Amino acid sequence: MLQTFKDGLPPYTASELSFDGVKVTAVEVETVGADHHDVFETFWQQDDIELSRGLDFFARSNVYARTTHLDHTPFKYKIKVNGQTKSY
């Protein structure tokens, strides 16, 4: 029902999506533990997932699946914004 309602809504207008008087002046990524900025470090990570609780038959021991997925080192981002307020 919610999706049907949302599908019937009109698209956003440009004025609804813009922020007059607001300007992004800088964006910076800081990778935790790294000596450099603006680098987002990714790597492949393997994890074992225990599956025996989701099986429909009696498992005599634990059942694991090993997955490989893309991960990243912890990071922070900084966004500098200048804003001008309007008087009414």
Lowest mean pLDDT among 5-14, 34-43, 69-78: 34-43
Alpha carbon 41 to chain centroid, angstroms: 15
- pLDDT for 30-68, tens place per residue? 887 777 778 888 999 999 988 877 666 665 778 889 999
Query: For residue 77, what pLDDT band results from cuts at 50, 70 and 90?
Result: confident
Extended beta strands in 1-88, E state:
22-31, 42-50, 64-72, 75-83
How do the domains of the chain map onto residue ranges?
A: 23-81
User: DSSP character for 38?
Assistant: S
**Percent of the chain residues topping a pLDDT of 90:** 36
Name the pTM for this structure. Answer: 0.50
Euclidean distance between CA atoms 40 and 45, whole angstroms = 16
CA-CA distances (angstroms) from residue 81 to 28, 84, 87? 12, 10, 19
